Amino acid sequence: MEENCIFCKIARGDIPSATLYEDEEFRVILDLGPASKGHALILPKKHAANLFELPDETAAKALVVAKRIAGQLKGGLHADGLNLVQNNGAAAGQTVEHFHIHLIPRYQDDTVNVKWQPGELSDADKEEILKLFR
Ligand code: AMP
Ligand code: ZN
């Protein structure tokens, strides 16, 4: 628990939230500023600021929770699709520094925007990046 972390307080139940699911390690809540109907957030109860700080075991379990809740949201709300979004760092759009996964149900012709302009993979970039993983 981090002092002053709003998602720690919500995950622990100190601040009330619209909770869809809870177990020992996670709480899944409705986002207060939904991108679409059913926009939910998966919050681990143990504080990790972002993906880089998240323990492997929590990371693995988070995707299992995501899969289950995604299915329930999509089926129950008759969504046409669903995005998982997970932001790390202000540059990536993270505004709350407690790891969370967005579940964003998608509806044909909705106005949600998770798109980018495709660039081009240069040979120089490709070589530089591949070298990191050799
Ligand atoms: P991110 O930009 O990935 O850090 O996402 C933070 C998300 O948390 C945003 O979609 C906010 O709408 C949402 N949010 C912030 N405060 C609360 C809160 N108290 N309860 C529910 N959702 C919140
Ligand atoms: Zn926290």
Secondary structure class of 81 (helix, strand, coil): strand
| Alpha carbon of 41 to ligand 1 centroid (Å) | 8
- Ligand 1 nearest atom to the CA of residue 85, by list position: 3
Reported as a single tens digit per residue, the pLDDT across 110-120 is: 999 999 999 99
pLDDT at position 1 is 72
Helix intervals (H) in 50-104: 56-77
Q: Give me the sheet containing 101-106, strands edge to edge.
A: 19-22, 26-30, 40-44, 101-106, 81-85
| Alpha carbon of 58 to ligand 2 centroid (Å) | 14
- Ligand 1 nearest atom to the CA of residue 15, by list position: 19
Q: Which two tokens stand for residue 36?
A: 């679409």
pTM of the full structure: 0.97
